[in-house]
Amino acid sequence: MNLPKTPSFNLQGKRALVTGAGRGIGLASAVALAEAGAHVTLTARSENEISSAALAIREQGWLADSKTLDVTNLEEVAQFIETSEPFDILISSAGGAKHRPALEVTEADFDFTFDLNTKSAFFVAQCVANKLIKHQLPGSLITISSQMGHVGGPNRATYCASKHAIEGFTKAMSKELGAHNIRINTLCPTFIKTPLTEPFLQDASFKAYVEDMIALKRVGEIEDIMGPAVFLASDASALITGSALMVDGGWTAY
Protein backbone atom coordinates (compact mmCIF):
# COMPACT_ATOMS: atom_id res chain seq x y z
CA MET A 1 0.00 0.00 0.00
CA ASN A 2 1.30 3.45 -0.92
CA LEU A 3 0.50 5.68 2.03
CA PRO A 4 0.09 9.44 1.58
CA LYS A 5 2.92 11.59 2.84
CA THR A 6 2.27 14.57 5.09
CA PRO A 7 3.41 17.80 3.41
CA SER A 8 6.41 19.37 5.09
CA PHE A 9 6.30 22.08 7.72
CA ASN A 10 10.04 22.58 7.14
CA LEU A 11 10.95 26.04 5.83
CA GLN A 12 14.63 25.38 5.17
CA GLY A 13 15.92 27.36 2.22
CA LYS A 14 13.08 29.89 2.42
CA ARG A 15 13.50 33.61 3.01
CA ALA A 16 10.92 35.29 5.24
CA LEU A 17 10.09 38.93 5.93
CA VAL A 18 8.31 39.76 9.18
CA THR A 19 7.10 43.30 9.83
CA GLY A 20 6.38 44.54 13.34
CA ALA A 21 8.86 41.92 14.53
CA GLY A 22 10.25 43.75 17.55
CA ARG A 23 7.82 42.32 20.07
CA GLY A 24 4.61 40.38 20.62
CA ILE A 25 3.01 38.49 17.75
CA GLY A 26 5.55 39.68 15.17
CA LEU A 27 8.50 38.52 17.25
CA ALA A 28 6.86 35.18 18.01
CA SER A 29 6.16 34.66 14.31
CA ALA A 30 9.75 35.46 13.39
CA VAL A 31 11.08 32.98 15.96
CA ALA A 32 8.69 30.28 14.74
CA LEU A 33 9.74 30.68 11.10
CA ALA A 34 13.43 30.71 12.00
CA GLU A 35 13.04 27.59 14.13
CA ALA A 36 11.31 25.91 11.16
CA GLY A 37 14.39 26.65 9.02
CA ALA A 38 13.68 29.95 7.26
CA HIS A 39 16.13 32.82 7.02
CA VAL A 40 14.10 35.58 8.67
CA THR A 41 14.46 39.33 8.22
CA LEU A 42 12.90 41.16 11.16
CA THR A 43 11.67 44.69 10.53
CA ALA A 44 10.22 47.40 12.75
CA ARG A 45 10.81 51.05 13.56
CA SER A 46 12.59 50.11 16.80
CA GLU A 47 16.16 49.28 15.76
CA ASN A 48 17.28 48.11 19.19
CA GLU A 49 14.43 45.62 19.56
CA ILE A 50 14.81 43.94 16.19
CA SER A 51 18.61 43.84 16.25
CA SER A 52 18.52 42.26 19.72
CA ALA A 53 15.85 39.80 18.60
CA ALA A 54 17.78 38.84 15.47
CA LEU A 55 20.90 38.28 17.57
CA ALA A 56 18.98 36.10 20.02
CA ILE A 57 17.62 34.03 17.13
CA ARG A 58 21.11 33.56 15.68
CA GLU A 59 22.37 32.49 19.10
CA GLN A 60 19.92 29.58 18.84
CA GLY A 61 21.70 28.52 15.67
CA TRP A 62 18.96 29.81 13.37
CA LEU A 63 19.16 32.38 10.56
CA ALA A 64 18.06 35.98 11.07
CA ASP A 65 18.92 39.55 10.26
CA SER A 66 17.16 42.86 10.84
CA LYS A 67 16.22 46.02 8.99
CA THR A 68 14.84 49.19 10.56
CA LEU A 69 11.74 49.99 8.53
CA ASP A 70 8.64 52.13 8.92
CA VAL A 71 5.95 50.30 6.95
CA THR A 72 3.90 53.48 6.58
CA ASN A 73 6.75 54.95 4.51
CA LEU A 74 5.72 53.22 1.29
CA GLU A 75 8.65 54.55 -0.74
CA GLU A 76 11.10 53.15 1.81
CA VAL A 77 9.27 49.81 1.85
CA ALA A 78 9.29 49.53 -1.94
CA GLN A 79 12.98 50.38 -2.18
CA PHE A 80 13.94 47.85 0.51
CA ILE A 81 12.01 44.99 -1.06
CA GLU A 82 13.16 45.85 -4.58
CA THR A 83 16.83 45.79 -3.52
CA SER A 84 16.49 42.59 -1.46
CA GLU A 85 16.44 39.01 -2.63
CA PRO A 86 12.87 37.78 -3.05
CA PHE A 87 11.04 36.84 0.13
CA ASP A 88 9.25 33.48 -0.16
CA ILE A 89 7.24 34.22 2.98
CA LEU A 90 5.72 37.42 4.35
CA ILE A 91 4.20 37.87 7.76
CA SER A 92 2.81 41.38 7.97
CA SER A 93 2.39 41.99 11.69
CA ALA A 94 2.89 45.74 12.04
CA GLY A 95 -0.30 47.27 13.38
CA GLY A 96 -1.98 49.31 16.06
CA ALA A 97 -5.11 51.16 17.03
CA LYS A 98 -6.58 54.06 18.94
CA HIS A 99 -9.64 52.66 20.63
CA ARG A 100 -12.50 55.00 21.47
CA PRO A 101 -16.28 55.13 20.95
CA ALA A 102 -17.28 55.52 17.30
CA LEU A 103 -18.93 58.88 17.99
CA GLU A 104 -15.64 60.23 19.35
CA VAL A 105 -13.29 59.00 16.60
CA THR A 106 -11.31 61.80 14.98
CA GLU A 107 -10.05 61.94 11.42
CA ALA A 108 -6.52 61.62 12.79
CA ASP A 109 -7.49 58.44 14.68
CA PHE A 110 -9.03 56.99 11.53
CA ASP A 111 -6.06 57.83 9.31
CA PHE A 112 -3.55 56.47 11.84
CA THR A 113 -5.34 53.13 12.09
CA PHE A 114 -5.90 52.64 8.37
CA ASP A 115 -2.43 53.83 7.35
CA LEU A 116 -0.74 51.41 9.73
CA ASN A 117 -3.08 48.43 9.67
CA THR A 118 -4.52 48.37 6.17
CA LYS A 119 -2.65 50.58 3.72
CA SER A 120 0.81 49.42 4.78
CA ALA A 121 -0.22 45.74 4.83
CA PHE A 122 -1.65 46.02 1.33
CA PHE A 123 1.42 47.64 -0.20
CA VAL A 124 3.93 45.43 1.60
CA ALA A 125 2.08 42.41 0.20
CA GLN A 126 1.99 44.03 -3.23
CA CYS A 127 5.73 44.67 -3.23
CA VAL A 128 6.62 41.16 -2.05
CA ALA A 129 4.25 39.60 -4.59
CA ASN A 130 5.61 41.68 -7.48
CA LYS A 131 9.16 40.62 -6.63
CA LEU A 132 8.13 36.95 -6.52
CA ILE A 133 6.33 37.25 -9.86
CA LYS A 134 9.35 38.96 -11.41
CA HIS A 135 11.49 35.97 -10.42
CA GLN A 136 8.74 33.43 -11.17
CA LEU A 137 8.74 32.11 -7.62
CA PRO A 138 5.88 30.78 -5.47
CA GLY A 139 5.20 32.32 -2.08
CA SER A 140 3.02 32.57 0.99
CA LEU A 141 1.83 35.99 2.16
CA ILE A 142 0.27 36.21 5.62
CA THR A 143 -1.25 39.26 7.26
CA ILE A 144 -1.92 39.31 10.99
CA SER A 145 -5.54 40.34 10.99
CA SER A 146 -7.83 39.82 13.99
CA GLN A 147 -11.01 38.18 15.16
CA MET A 148 -12.23 41.78 14.92
CA GLY A 149 -11.96 41.44 11.16
CA HIS A 150 -15.00 39.16 11.39
CA VAL A 151 -17.08 40.64 14.20
CA GLY A 152 -17.66 43.99 15.88
CA GLY A 153 -16.50 45.22 19.25
CA PRO A 154 -17.23 48.17 21.52
CA ASN A 155 -14.89 51.16 21.12
CA ARG A 156 -13.27 49.47 18.11
CA ALA A 157 -15.08 50.84 15.07
CA THR A 158 -11.98 52.00 13.21
CA TYR A 159 -9.93 48.95 14.27
CA CYS A 160 -12.68 46.57 13.14
CA ALA A 161 -13.05 48.47 9.88
CA SER A 162 -9.32 48.28 9.18
CA LYS A 163 -9.23 44.54 9.83
CA HIS A 164 -12.40 43.84 7.80
CA ALA A 165 -10.67 45.68 4.95
CA ILE A 166 -7.66 43.38 5.26
CA GLU A 167 -9.94 40.37 4.94
CA GLY A 168 -11.42 41.93 1.81
CA PHE A 169 -8.19 42.62 -0.03
CA THR A 170 -6.85 39.19 0.96
CA LYS A 171 -9.77 37.48 -0.78
CA ALA A 172 -9.44 39.71 -3.84
CA MET A 173 -5.66 39.33 -4.14
CA SER A 174 -5.90 35.55 -3.82
CA LYS A 175 -7.85 35.49 -7.08
CA GLU A 176 -5.07 37.37 -8.87
CA LEU A 177 -2.04 35.76 -7.27
CA GLY A 178 -3.19 32.16 -7.53
CA ALA A 179 -2.11 31.94 -11.17
CA HIS A 180 1.43 32.74 -9.99
CA ASN A 181 1.32 30.06 -7.26
CA ILE A 182 1.39 32.75 -4.59
CA ARG A 183 -0.93 32.20 -1.66
CA ILE A 184 -2.28 34.96 0.58
CA ASN A 185 -4.12 34.42 3.86
CA THR A 186 -4.83 36.08 7.17
CA LEU A 187 -4.15 34.87 10.68
CA CYS A 188 -6.80 36.15 13.07
CA PRO A 189 -5.96 36.12 16.79
CA THR A 190 -8.16 36.88 19.74
CA PHE A 191 -6.71 38.97 22.57
CA ILE A 192 -3.12 37.81 23.00
CA LYS A 193 -0.94 38.81 25.94
CA THR A 194 1.44 41.33 24.38
CA PRO A 195 2.82 44.76 25.33
CA LEU A 196 0.02 46.22 23.19
CA THR A 197 -2.83 44.46 25.03
CA GLU A 198 -1.33 44.44 28.51
CA PRO A 199 -2.84 47.79 29.60
CA PHE A 200 -6.35 46.61 28.64
CA LEU A 201 -5.99 43.20 30.26
CA GLN A 202 -4.90 44.78 33.55
CA ASP A 203 -8.49 46.01 33.86
CA ALA A 204 -10.19 43.15 35.73
CA SER A 205 -13.64 43.81 34.30
CA PHE A 206 -12.32 43.98 30.73
CA LYS A 207 -10.31 40.78 31.18
CA ALA A 208 -13.42 39.05 32.55
CA TYR A 209 -15.40 40.21 29.49
CA VAL A 210 -12.72 38.86 27.16
CA GLU A 211 -12.51 35.50 28.91
CA ASP A 212 -16.30 35.20 28.89
CA MET A 213 -16.35 35.73 25.11
CA ILE A 214 -13.66 33.11 24.48
CA ALA A 215 -15.00 29.54 24.50
CA LEU A 216 -11.71 28.21 25.92
CA LYS A 217 -11.96 30.76 28.75
CA ARG A 218 -8.40 32.05 28.54
CA VAL A 219 -6.54 34.92 26.93
CA GLY A 220 -4.11 33.86 24.22
CA GLU A 221 -0.35 33.56 24.62
CA ILE A 222 2.09 34.50 21.85
CA GLU A 223 3.02 30.81 21.59
CA ASP A 224 -0.54 30.17 20.35
CA ILE A 225 0.37 32.06 17.17
CA MET A 226 3.60 30.25 16.37
CA GLY A 227 2.23 26.94 15.07
CA PRO A 228 -0.44 28.57 12.88
CA ALA A 229 2.19 30.93 11.43
CA VAL A 230 4.42 28.03 10.39
CA PHE A 231 1.41 26.16 9.02
CA LEU A 232 0.33 29.01 6.74
CA ALA A 233 3.92 29.63 5.64
CA SER A 234 4.65 26.02 4.77
CA ASP A 235 3.64 23.41 2.20
CA ALA A 236 1.31 21.96 4.84
CA SER A 237 -1.21 24.63 3.76
CA ALA A 238 -0.49 24.38 0.02
CA LEU A 239 -4.17 24.48 -1.02
CA ILE A 240 -5.16 27.30 1.32
CA THR A 241 -5.46 30.82 -0.07
CA GLY A 242 -7.88 33.70 0.37
CA SER A 243 -8.74 32.31 3.79
CA ALA A 244 -8.72 33.44 7.40
CA LEU A 245 -7.25 31.14 10.04
CA MET A 246 -9.04 31.91 13.29
CA VAL A 247 -6.86 31.68 16.41
CA ASP A 248 -9.55 33.07 18.66
CA GLY A 249 -10.35 30.37 21.20
CA GLY A 250 -13.89 30.23 19.82
CA TRP A 251 -14.76 33.95 20.09
CA THR A 252 -16.27 34.09 16.60
CA ALA A 253 -18.18 30.82 17.11
CA TYR A 254 -20.81 32.71 19.11
Torsion of CA 28, 34, 35, 37, to 10 degrees: 150
The torsion defined by the Cα of 45, 18, 78 and 176, in degrees rounded to 10, comes to -150
Question: Considering 159, 191, 231, 251, which one is annotated as catalytic?
Answer: 159
Buried b (16+ CB within 10 A) or exposed e, 18-56: bbbbbbbbbbbbbbbbbbbbbbbbbbbeeeebbbebbee
Catalytic site residue 209? no
CA-to-CA distance for 9 and 18, rounded, in angstroms?
Answer: 18
Residue 76 near residue 69, CB atoms below 8 Å: yes
Nearest Cα to Cα of residue 85 among 16, 33, 36 = 16
Q: Which residues are catalytic?
A: 159
